[in-house]
Amino acid sequence: MSNPPRDPRPVLSGDRVTLSPLRAADKRAFRALVSRNREWLEPFGASDPLAAPQTGSFAGALREAKRAAKHGRSLGWALRLGGSAAQPQAPAAVLGQVSLHSLTGGAARQGSIGYWIDRGFSGQGLATEAVRLALDHGFGEAGLHRIEALVHPENAPSLALLRRLGFREEGMRERALWVRGDWRDHVVLALTEEEWAPESRNS
How would you class 154 by CB atoms within 10 Å of its CB: exposed for 0-12, middle for 13-18, buried for 19 or more? exposed
In a domain, 7, yes or no: no
Instruction: Please give the tally of structural domains in the chain.
Output: 1
In a domain, 155, yes or no: yes
Whats the size of the chain, residue-wise? Answer: 203
In a domain, 3, yes or no: no
Instruction: Name the average pLDDT for the chain.
Output: 90
In a domain, 1, yes or no: no
Range of 146's domain? 12-201
Contacts of 190 (CB under 8 A, 6+ apart): 146, 147, 148, 149, 167, 168, 170
The CATH code of the domain that includes 98 is 3.40.630.30
Query: Would you say 54 and 34 are in contact if contact means Cβ atoms under 8 Å apart?
Result: no
How would you class 145 by CB atoms within 10 Å of its CB: exposed for 0-12, middle for 13-18, buried for 19 or more? middle
In a domain, 178, yes or no: yes
Q: What is the structure's pLDDT at 51?
A: 75
In a domain, 166, yes or no: yes
Q: Is the pLDDT of residue 75 over 90?
A: yes
In a domain, 132, yes or no: yes
What DSSP string runs through 66-123? Answer: HHHHHTTS-EEEEEEE--TTT--SSPPPEEEEEEEEEEE-TTT-EEEEEEEE-GGGTT
Using pLDDT thresholds of 50, 70 and 90, give the confidence band for residue 1. Answer: very low
Query: Would you say 15 and 84 are in contact if contact means Cβ atoms under 8 Å apart?
Result: yes
pLDDT digits (tens, 9 = 90+) for 82-93: 876 554 455 578
pLDDT digits (tens, 9 = 90+) for 38-71: 999 999 999 888 876 666 789 999 999 999 999 9
pTM of this structure: 0.90
In a domain, 4, yes or no: no
pLDDT digits (tens, 9 = 90+) for 96-152: 999 999 999 999 999 999 999 999 999 999 999 999 999 999 999 999 999 999 999
Using pLDDT thresholds of 50, 70 and 90, give the confidence band for residue 34. Answer: very high
Q: What is the structure's pLDDT at 92?
A: 77
pLDDT digits (tens, 9 = 90+) for 151-200: 999 999 999 999 999 999 999 999 999 999 999 999 999 999 999 975 55
